[in-house]
Structure 1
Amino acid sequence: MRTLKTAAAAIAGALMLVTAPTTSASPPLPPTRDIAPGIAIVTTNAAADDGGTCTAGWLVHTSEGRPGFLTAGHCNRGGDAWYSDADGNYQSIGRFTRTVHGASAEDSDIALVELTGSTPSESAIIDIRPVTGAASAYRVAVGDTLCHYGMTTRLQCGEVSYVDASGVVFSAPSAGGDSGGPVYYRNADGTATAVGIAIRSNEQGTVAELISPWLAKWGLTLDKTRTNPVPLPARYRGGR
């Protein structure tokens, strides 16, 4: 039987785990119905007493069928990923199982968070824009228009000024907290084609890591959104 002292310590520990993401989130995360590309997340250290905000990227499944999502590698602080559920309660949703983040700004920056528990997920960007597939690195070209969605700046779009086999730069603003968010083509029919994840900003705009090489390297399958055969409403073609 636990003593009063050990029981109190256990309760205090449980409260620390619940409140730590709240203090780590700046600004506090908005309530979210389910896990989707573009939602705000907090990632904490192993003790769950420190962390920071990022954005969830594309939903995927591993070759073993486990669900997860991509985000920026520098978002991995050694602990779990959390979100704010529909009631505003912080819930742990997954753990980092793969991370690439070098010391140089030119290095790749991407991570995989595998989902745990029974939190519902939705592959459409923030539950709105359906995702129909992923673009190969060779499809993206200078002059194209790309968009990203992040927890801080929300929807931002701009023209591609540079692209290589692993990354792309486009003239859209981004800020702290946007890291990991989905980068995509907005198609004329209202759908999105996944291109990458936002990893940082520079004088030219937003820098993104292309996801197609990592889908192949890590044996991942992009989660696509089922769409009706009829065209989507006009609001989908103009927003997000």
Structure 2
Amino acid sequence: MVSVDALELASWGTPYSPARTVALPLGALVLAVLAVLGFLPGRAERRRKPATGAFPATDVLPPRPRTHTTVLTLAAVCSITALVAAVCLLPSAATPAQQPTPPPVLAPIDLPAASAIGPGAGIYVDYTDGSGGMGCTAGFLVHTSSGQAGILTAGHCNRSGEPSKVTMNLGGVLPYATLGTFSQTISEGVHDEQHDIGLITLDGDNVPQSPAIAASVPVSGVAANLQVGQQLCKFGMGSGADACGQIVEITGSKVKFLAGGQCGDSGGPVYRYENDGTVSAVGILIRGGDPYTRKAGCAARAKFSVAELVRPWLDTWRLTMVTAASAPR
């Protein structure tokens, strides 16, 4: 379908490493030991004092230069201060009863806060193998055939393909919350009709839900009768706002339209505005590109976007779209 280069629009994260917390106190300890050793006399510094009267001679130290002593004193004080500070900065061993353990892989992403999970919210996928994770955008809310709540996103956001945990930022003192787990992941590639879709099963009602774009524009249904020339819009975490453009190509599973995107937008909702001010769901943003550069999307803003149509997957996975009318109040 797409004859130019297209890239997945996701943001990479990295796993937390404990090596940094060990290196600081260890280095400070070494400096403190070296500084203290500087005060200890060496054998070469000792000399004999001539005997006086009936008393035998004793070993005494030659006087140290004042400048040398001052430097050693300052070095020792600074090293010991650094050691104390390093120990204070070490993470304490917390238990569930004392304080929650912060998600160690969230720091590289800095998710924007959202009041509820829904289309347009930023999410972080924590890979089960500990290799890191990926920041993406949540798509449309759905219900499974058994009534369980879920949310669609791009399959490539869960690169490991395993049942990875997903978190989001709800704001407040302890903002990060686990919202669910990947239960379906399809990521075939970035060319033509290769599919790219994922389903996150939500953990009950632990996280509030909103069937509205960025918790403000309600979703009223699933779009039908798409045509070239119609206006579609998208919302992504990376862009932070919706962007709209005309449809230029439609296939059995994809739609391509002229709206730009950035890294972190992957998985976000693609929708069409209706006359009543609501939007109808069209697809899940999976990639973007620029006819004039291979680096569009991350190094540079993409000029067009490609979405995976949601209607075929609602049928395949027996899902029901959650709309403003059907959402619990």
TM-score for the superposition, normalised by structure 1: 0.83
Q: Corresponding residue for 1:44?
A: 126
Q: Corresponding residue for 1:85?
A: 170
Note the 1:2-151 alignment, pairs <5 A: 11=95, 18-25=102-109, 28-47=110-129, 50-77=132-159, 78=162, 79-87=164-172, 89-106=175-192, 107-117=194-204, 118-136=206-224, 139-151=225-237
Q: Residues of 2 paired with 1:108 and 1:115: CA distance?
A: 23
> How many residues are treated as equivalent by the alignment?
215
SS at match of 2:212: coil
Contact 1:17 1:49 in 2 (8 A): no
> What is the one-letter code of the residue matched to 1:165?
G
> What is the one-letter code of the residue matched to 1:19?
P
TM-score for the superposition, normalised by structure 2: 0.61
Q: Residues of 1 paired with 2:100 and 2:131: CA distance?
A: 7
Q: Residues of 2 paired with 1:185 and 1:104: CA distance?
A: 24
Contact 2:254 2:307 in 1 (8 A): yes
5+ long unaligned stretches in structure 2: 1-91, 291-302
SS at match of 2:104: helix
SS at match of 1:214: helix
TM-superposed deviation, 1:18: 2.2
State the Cα deviation string for residues 24-74 of structure 1 (Å, max 9, x = none).
41xx11221111110111111115561121000000000000001000000
State the Cα deviation string for residues 132-182 of structure 1 (Å, max 9, x = none).
11024xx11111100000011121000001001100000000111000000
> What is the one-letter code of the residue matched to 1:105?
H
SS at match of 1:213: helix
Pairing 1:170–2:257 present: yes
Q: Corresponding residue for 2:307?
A: 208
Q: Residues of 1 paired with 2:175 and 2:130: CA distance?
A: 15
Deviates more, 1:70-79 or 1:210-219: 70-79
SS at match of 2:213: coil
161, 180, 183: which one aligns with 2:248 = 161
Q: Residues of 2 paired with 1:24 and 1:191: CA distance?
A: 35
Q: Corresponding residue for 1:194?
A: 281
Contact 1:17 1:48 in 2 (8 A): no
* Residue identity (%): 39
TM-superposed deviation, 1:17: 6.0
Higher strand fraction: Structure 1 or Structure 2? 1
TM-superposed deviation, 1:16: 10
Pairing 1:185–2:272 present: yes
> What is the one-letter code of the residue matched to 1:209?
E
Contact 2:235 2:242 in 1 (8 A): yes
TM-superposed deviation, 1:15: 8.8
Contact 1:34 1:122 in 2 (8 A): yes
> What is the one-letter code of the residue matched to 1:108?
H
State the Cα deviation string for residues 1-32 of structure 1 (Å, max 9, x = none).
xxxxxxx87749x999623242241xx11221
Q: Residues of 1 paired with 2:99 and 2:130: CA distance?
A: 11
Q: Corresponding residue for 1:221?
A: 320
Q: Residues of 2 paired with 1:65 and 1:168: CA distance?
A: 29
C-alpha root-mean-square deviation of aligned residues, in Å? 2.3
Q: Residues of 1 paired with 2:213 and 2:189: CA distance?
A: 30
